[in-house]
Amino acid sequence: MIKEKRKSKNYTQEKMSELLGISLRQYVRIDNEEDLPRRDVLKNLIIVLDLTNEEIGEYIRKITMNPPNKK
């Protein structure tokens, strides 16, 4: 869902990492729904992508209910 919103705004992963003030690697993990961002990053993500309450709730539920397998 995050990736689709990013693409709809024509932002690259690099641009998003710059806008959020995080590393590209960290953003890629968010984009691939592998990691839940810190609260401050999440707040900025909501602003940058104009996420609705419904969308952010769906994203958080998906990440917390189906955490990726950690190696």
Would you say the C-alpha torsion 5, 10, 13, 18 has a positive or negative sign?
negative
Q: What is the pLDDT of residues 1-37, one digit of tens each?
A: 899 999 999 999 999 999 999 999 999 999 998 888 9
pLDDT of res. 66: 73
Question: In whole angstroms, how far apart are CA 61 and each of 1, 13, 16, 36, 49?
Answer: 12, 23, 22, 10, 18
pLDDT of res. 69: 57
The superfamily CATH assigns to domain 2-65 is lambda repressor-like DNA-binding domains (1.10.260.40)
Q: pLDDT tier at 54 (50, 70, 90 boundaries)?
A: very high
